Amino acid sequence: MQPICAGLNVLEMGSGSVAASVAGVVLADAGARVVKVEPPEGDRLRTANPSGFLVWNRGKESLVADLRTPEGQRTLRDMAERADVVIEAGSRREPRRNGGPAPTTCGPRIRR
């Protein structure tokens, strides 16, 4: 029997967010492929709460993307277009201000 979320591709954006990390680990534990996007300096939780970081991010892949650069923005848009689920923690304007995907650039299977 396959895990309930097998085949689901999840993009997690929310460096420093416990809520985003917990949402992502629940999906990863249920069999989803979760890719956590981190800035070049790493997720703030790595130093602020190292034990929590290990627990909340088990079973995930990590992708470094500098959203302050065109290359990092392009990488994130490409990943969002292929994702089934995007977990975003921050203000509604923050992802676009930092070069993240606008809702219209997300994959066709994402409900808006």
Tokens of 9: 């591709």
pLDDT at 105 (0 to 100)? 47
Domains along the sequence of the chain with CATH: 9-105 (3.40.50.10540)
Q: How far apart are the first and last CA of the chain?
A: 30
pLDDT in tens, 69-89: 999 999 999 999 999 999 998
Per DSSP bridges, beta strands 33-38 and 9-13 are parallel
User: Any alpha helices (H) in 1-112, and if so which ranges?
Assistant: 18-29, 45-48, 50-56, 70-82, 94-97
Rounded mean pLDDT, 3-18? 94
pLDDT at 15 (0 to 100)? 87
Q: Report whether 87 contacts 14 (CB < 8 A).
A: yes
